[in-house]
């Protein structure tokens, strides 16, 4: 029996661990927080559950990549998913302009809807959307296809910027703003964000998104069960603080509690910056360390969590992306009303996510949770009031509908996830210098492998697919993809 220690019990670590467990590995997942799951975690305040992240995601439609993957892992019947509305998969609200767009599911319906609104751009819209789908075809793993030995080759559009791609097809400024509605919330700057990330995320949303019905924790627990049923363990409150290396191999890891863990292989599912802080200095060259530490991070966010009064605000079965004119923060934000089991007509909670630069909280970067001082608490309250002011442009009486609310800043996100500067999506990809942020799942340390959002693409889909790539580095190229597709064929 082969053994593997996975450092980090977030999405990437749990999916990689579950896949290895299916391959006969005895897996030990070590998570620093009290609850496993990372962005899947549901936390409670005053007895009310709130999702940490993973508010909306794609890939679970019939034939979707995540539906296939999690079907193969045997957890689809253990999670409860709620599809967003067919005619309003995503809603984009140009706040202050009185313009609201209800984007439907499905490629043809998406094109038809936008063509009716912008008839002069009809052919351009069709060509643009077709190109999005064509670009995703250049990523075999996105469709769970076997990756050729020769590697992948990509065209100019794939490696260009989002703005370059959009300028090639779309001329109407308002339509450009509408089609770029996801950019602010996925860490993308139009002039440098790679078009392929824009295409992958866009196609995921066009094909249809989902939300967890009830606690998002359910997926983390289901993946942990796969690992434990195969003889492994998932250990919370067990932060790895030292990774010892000898002869270019990890020999063991030590946790904050002083416990020692050994295995044949090790998977790091933490931010590379965290990895470099805890691994022996000689494991990586100075040049590699400097490169990793120089990669810019994506934006963080300021989140407001609200418990709503009974029957105060109707449940909304889709995310709403808000874009506002002017220079006042926030200029863009997203809000959701997370569904509960047996969801009724009215929402129980609301979560608002606003992109925020880490510089806003840099004055308190060396403080600890609960001990940041009065100045920080005053700033956080003032910032939360700005978010509520912005939301009252959508719901004029929102404050009167709220039973209680609280906020999380980039510092909260940094300290919980262990992400540098509290970044939402890890390393920022720059089409002008893709190699800077490019991370391989294999490292110079022979038995150490990487997974997580910094390696490839962020989000539930991106991180889960990257876990396949990580595991295949241990068990063989295309081994997992072949088994997923064979399993799907047998099920059908």
Residue range 302-306: average pLDDT? 97
Residue whose token pair is 């009167």:
400
Instruction: Count the Cβ atoms, other than its own, within 10 Å of residue 296.
Output: 15
Residue 302 confidence (pLDDT) above 90? yes
At residue 455, the pLDDT reads 87
- pLDDT tens-digit series, residues 327-354: 889 999 999 999 999 999 999 999 999 9
CATH 3.50.50.60 range(s) for the chain read 3-37+45-51+215-295+428-491
Residue range 350-366: average pLDDT? 95
Residue range 253-257: average pLDDT? 98
Residue range 463-481: average pLDDT? 97
Residue range 372-382: average pLDDT? 96
Residue range 109-137: average pLDDT? 97
Of 334, 372, 369, the C-alpha closest to 355 is 334
CA angle 170, 173, 176 (to 5 degrees): 55
At residue 159, the pLDDT reads 82
Name the pTM for this structure: 0.95
At residue 490, the pLDDT reads 65
Cα Rg, the chain, nearest whole Å: 22
Of 32, 35, 27, the C-alpha closest to 73 is 27
Proportion of the chain above pLDDT 70, given as a percent:
97
At residue 248, the pLDDT reads 95
Residue range 70-97: average pLDDT? 96
Residue 401 burial by Cβ neighbours in a 10 Å radius (0-12, 13-18, 19+): middle
Which of 177-181, 290-294, 403-407, 417-421 bottoms out in mean pLDDT, i.e. has the lowest?
417-421
User: Which has more pLDDT, 139 or 491?
Assistant: 139
Which of 18-27, 188-197, 401-410 bottoms out in mean pLDDT, i.e. has the lowest?
188-197
Q: How far apart are CA 392 and CA 408, in angstroms?
A: 19
Residue range 168-194: average pLDDT? 84
At residue 406, the pLDDT reads 97
> What average pLDDT does the structure give for the chain?
93
286 token code pair: 């100075």
At residue 483, the pLDDT reads 97
Residue 76 confidence (pLDDT) above 90? yes
For residue 432, name the pLDDT band (cuts at 50, 70, 90): confident
At residue 188, the pLDDT reads 60
- 3-state SS record for the chain: CCEEEEECCCHHHHHHHHHHHHCCCEEEEECCCCCCCHHHCEEEECCEEEECCCCCEECCCCCCHHHHHHHHCCCHHHCCEEECCCCCCEEEEEECCCEEEEECCCHHHHHHHHHHHCHHHHHHHHHHHHHHHHHHCCCHHHHCCCCCCCCCCCCHHHHCEHHHHHHHHCCCHHHHHHHCCCHHHCCCCCCCCEHHHHHHHHHHHHHCEEEECCCCHHHHHHHHHHHHHCCCEEECCCCEEEEEEECCEEEEEEECCCCEECCCEEEECCCHHHHHHHECHHHCCHHHHHHHHHCCECCEEEEEEEEECCCCCECCCCCEEEEECCCCCCCEEEEECCCCCCCCCECCEEEEEEEECHHHHHHHCCCCCCCCCHHHHHHHHHHHHHHHHHHCCCCCCHHHHEEEEEEECHHHHHHHHCCHHHCCCCECCCCCCHHHHCCCCECCCCCEEECCCCCCCCHHHHHHHHHHHHHHHHHCCCHHHHHHHHHHHHHC
At residue 456, the pLDDT reads 81
Residue 187 confidence (pLDDT) above 60? no
Residue 99 confidence (pLDDT) above 60? yes
At residue 1, the pLDDT reads 80
At residue 30, the pLDDT reads 98
Of 255, 272, 216, the C-alpha closest to 418 is 272
Residue 92 confidence (pLDDT) above 80? yes
Residue whose token pair is 């000898």:
246
Residue 375 confidence (pLDDT) above 70? yes
What CATH architecture applies to the domain 3-37+45-51+215-295+428-491?
3-Layer(bba) Sandwich (3.50)
Residue range 363-376: average pLDDT? 93
At residue 491, the pLDDT reads 58
At residue 151, the pLDDT reads 63
CB proximity list for 289: less than 8 A, separation 6 or greater: 276
Which of 36-45, 306-315, 476-485 bottoms out in mean pLDDT, i.e. has the lowest?
36-45
At residue 149, the pLDDT reads 81
Residue range 125-147: average pLDDT? 95
At residue 359, the pLDDT reads 95
Cis status of the peptide bond prior to 63, with omega within 30 of 0: no
Residue 109 confidence (pLDDT) above 90? yes
Residue range 44-66: average pLDDT? 92
Q: How far apart are CA 481 and CA 144, in angstroms?
A: 6
- pLDDT tens-digit series, residues 194-230: 889 899 999 999 999 999 999 899 999 999 999 999 9
At residue 358, the pLDDT reads 94
């Amino acid at each position: 029996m082969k053994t593997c220690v996975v450092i980090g019990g977030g999405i990437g670590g749990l999916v990689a661990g579950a896949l290895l467990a299916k391959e006969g590995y005895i897996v030990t997942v070590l998570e620093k927080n009290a609850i496993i799951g990372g962005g899947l975690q549901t936390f409670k305040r005053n007895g009310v559950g709130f999702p940490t992240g993973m508010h909306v995601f794609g890939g679970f439609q019939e034939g979707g990549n995540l539906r296939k993957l999690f079907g193969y892992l045997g957890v689809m019947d253990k999670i409860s998913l709620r599809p967003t509305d067919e005619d309003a998969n995503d809603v984009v609200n140009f706040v202050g302009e009185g313009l609201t767009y209800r984007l439907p599911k499905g490629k043809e319906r998406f094109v038809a809807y936008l063509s009716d609104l912008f008839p002069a751009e009809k052919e351009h819209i069709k060509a643009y959307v077709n190109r999005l789908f064509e670009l995703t075809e250049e990523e075999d793993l996105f469709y769970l296809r076997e990756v050729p030995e020769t590697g992948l080759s990509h065209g100019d559009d794939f490696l260009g910027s989002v703005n370059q791609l959009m300028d090639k097809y779309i001329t109407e400024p308002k339509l450009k703003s509408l089609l770029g509605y996801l950019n602010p919330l996925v860490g993308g700057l139009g002039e440098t964000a790679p078009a392929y990330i824009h295409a992958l995320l866009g196609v995921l949303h066009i094909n249809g998104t989902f939300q967890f019905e009830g606690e998002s924790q359910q997926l983390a627990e289901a993946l942990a069960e796969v690992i434990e049923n195969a003889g492994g363990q998932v250990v919370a409150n067990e932060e790895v603080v030292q990774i010892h290396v000898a002869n270019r191999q990890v020999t063991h890891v030590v946790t904050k509690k002083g416990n020692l863990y050994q295995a044949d292989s090790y998977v790091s599912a933490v931010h590379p910056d965290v990895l470099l802080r805890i691994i022996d200095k000689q494991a990586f060259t100075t040049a590699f360390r400097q490169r990793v530490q120089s990669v810019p991070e994506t934006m963080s966010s300021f989140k407001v969590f609200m418990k709503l009064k009974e029957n105060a605000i109707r449940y909304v079965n889709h995310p709403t992306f808000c874009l506002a004119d002017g220079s006042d923060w926030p200029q863009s934000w997203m809000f959701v009303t997370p569904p509960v089991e047996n969801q009724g007509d009215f929402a129980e909670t609301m979560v608002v996510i606003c992109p925020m630069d880490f510089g806003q909280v840099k004055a308190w970067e060396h403080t600890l949770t609960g001990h940041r001082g009065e100045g920080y608490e005053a700033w956080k309250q003032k910032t939360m009031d700005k978010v509520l002011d912005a939301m009252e442009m959508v719901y004029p009486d929102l404050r009167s509908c709220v039973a209680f609310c609280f906020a999380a800043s980039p510092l909260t996100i940094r300290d919980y996830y262990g992400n540098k500067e509290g970044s939402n999506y890890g390393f920022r990809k720059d089409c002008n210098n893709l190699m800077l942020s490019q991370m391989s799942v294999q490292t110079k340390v022979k038995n150490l492998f990487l997974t997580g959002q910094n390696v490839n693409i962020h989000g539930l889909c991106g991180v889960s697919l990257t876990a396949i790539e990580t595991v295949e580095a241990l068990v063989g190229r295309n081994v997992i993809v072949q088994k997923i597709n064979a399993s799907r064929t047998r099920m059908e």
